[in-house]
Every structure is written in structure tokens, then in C-alpha cells.
């Protein structure tokens, strides 16, 4: 799955829950036998792998517990938004069981100046507000009725667009479930929503090699 540079050195790698045991075998093959200190692995050559529990999983203290928790079925809410596009869904395990995708036009930036630029800016702002309100309505219809069944809400896309949607007071119960993880996804479409399930379920590990 995806990987990204980590602040302070090393890299973050996202691993599908089902692949964690095989990942551990490969880690040992590359770096030698390792010792476990909670969720931190220290290999013979000095490499380390520090694991995080995936969104919605309970806190754990050992790798065996992490694998069980990561692979256990969880109901995950998904909210992806960019400009006027929003995709909302509920996943049970790796399956998308409910969804809604909608796109609204939002005026792009203009290079014109003066009065014309101000007029376009106001229009764009009004369109963005309308899109956020419509997005909040979709989130309310799809996610709110099942909020008590959800383990977590995973968001992604453009953070300001997501924040604008979740600012609706009626969505406060979902805000309390929002995960720290934020997915980097393109303009939300149904296929993007489906692929985001993997990112929402993934187990993240910080790898540092000596």
C-alpha cells in the first residue's frame, strides 16, 4: 500500500490488516531477527518498525493483539470531499455497504482584478457554502442513522472542504468519531470511495533503518 516520508526521519508504510503477518516475515528476512517492545520491533541490524493501531481498533499492547484487532470486522464511516464533490459511505470490513456521491459546481479562481475579481470571489464563496451544506445533508442521511454502529469516521480529500461539511451542528456525533488519519485522495468518485476503504483499514508502521 502507500508509503510516505516521516517527519524526523524514516518512512510511514500502510499495510493491509491481512498482510501484517507476511510483512513481519519479510522484515525479519531483510533485517534479521527482531525483538518486540510493545508495538516497537528492533531488528538485529538496528532497523526499527513502530506500529499504530488502525482507525477504530481498540488500544493494544502486543503485535499479536494488534493483528487480531486490525483483522476484526469494524464498521467504518467514510467522508471524502474536494471543492463541490463529496463521497460518503459505510464500510463493513472491506465491503462498501452504503454510499452516496454528489458533485456541485464551484467557481474556479479568476485572474481578473478589481470589481470582477470580487464578484467571482463572492460567487465562488456562495457556491462553496452551498456545496458544504449539501454535503452535510448527504452525511446526515447516510451516516447519522448508523452513527452508533460505527467504530470510526475516516475523512479525506481537501481538509478545508471536509471541515466545512462537519461544521454543521447536527453532525456533532460524527465529529467525535473522526479519526486523526486523513486520506490523500483525488476528486471523490464512487471508485475513489471504494479504494479509500483500504486506506481507512490499513495498519501504519514507521520504519527507520540504520
Asked whether residue 99 falls in the same domain as residue 12, the answer is: no
48 and 136 part of one domain? no
98, 90 contact by CB (below 8 A): yes
Is 173 in the same domain as 157? yes
Residues comprising the chain, all counted: 210
Q: What is residue 64's predicted lDDT score, i.e. its pLDDT?
A: 97
Same domain for 68 and 126, yes or no, is: no
148 and 194 both lie in a single domain: yes
26 with 89, same domain: the answer is no
Instruction: Tell me what pLDDT residue 119 has.
Output: 63
Co-location of 80 and 150 in the same domain: yes
pLDDT recorded at residue 132: 81
- Judgement on whether residues 64 and 79 belong to the same structural domain of the protein: no
The per-residue pLDDT for 182 is 96
Q: What is the CATH number of the domain that holds 155?
A: 3.30.420.60
Residues 65 and 93 in one domain: no
pLDDT of residue 159: 96
Residue 84: predicted pLDDT:
76
pLDDT score of 62: 97
The residue ranges of the chain whose pLDDT is under 70 are 1, 104-130
Whether 148 and 92 map to the same domain: the answer is yes
| pLDDT recorded at residue 8 | 87
Q: What is the pLDDT of residue 128?
A: 59
Alpha-helical regions (H) of 17-113: 20-31, 63-71
Same domain, 128 and 190: yes
Domains held by the chain: number:
2
Residue written as grid cell 491481512: 18
Tell me the residue range of the domain where 159 lies.
Answer: 75-200
H helix and E strand count, the chain: 6, 11
Amino acid at each position: 500500500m502507500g508509503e510516505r516520508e516521516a517527519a524526523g526521519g524514516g518512512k510511514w508504510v500502510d499495510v493491509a490488516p491481512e498482510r501484517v503477518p507476511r510483512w513481519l516475515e519479510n522484515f525479519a528476512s531483510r533485517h534479521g531477527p527482531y525483538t518486540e517492545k510493545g508495538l516497537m520491533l528492533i531488528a538485529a541490524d538496528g532497523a526499527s518498525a513502530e506500529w499504530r493501531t488502525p482507525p477504530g481498533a481498540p488500544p493494544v499492547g502486543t503485535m499479536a493483539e494488534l493483528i487480531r484487532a486490525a483483522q476484526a470486522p469494524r464498521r467504518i464511516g467514510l467522508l471524502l470531499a474536494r471543492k463541490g464533490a463529496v463521497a460518503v459511505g459505510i464500510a463493513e470490513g472491506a465491503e462498501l455497504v452504503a454510499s452516496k456521491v454528489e458533485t456541485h459546481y464551484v467557481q474556479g479562481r479568476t485572474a481578473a482584478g478589481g470589481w470582477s475579481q470580487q464578484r467571482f470571489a463572492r460567487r465562488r464563496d456562495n457556491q462553496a457554502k452551498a456545496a458544504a451544506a449539501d454535503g452535510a445533508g448527504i452525511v446526515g442521511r447516510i451516516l447519522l442513522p448508523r452513527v452508533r454502529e460505527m467504530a470510526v469516521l475516516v475523512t479525506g480529500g481537501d481538509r478545508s472542504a471536509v471541515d466545512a461539511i462537519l461544521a454543521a451542528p447536527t453532525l456533532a456525533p460524527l465529529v467525535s468519531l473522526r479519526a486523526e488519519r486523513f486520506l490523500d485522495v483525488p476528486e471523490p468518485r464512487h471508485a475513489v470511495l471504494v479504494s479509500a476503504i483500504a486506506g481507512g483499514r490499513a495498519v501504519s508502521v514507521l520504519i527507520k533503518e540504520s
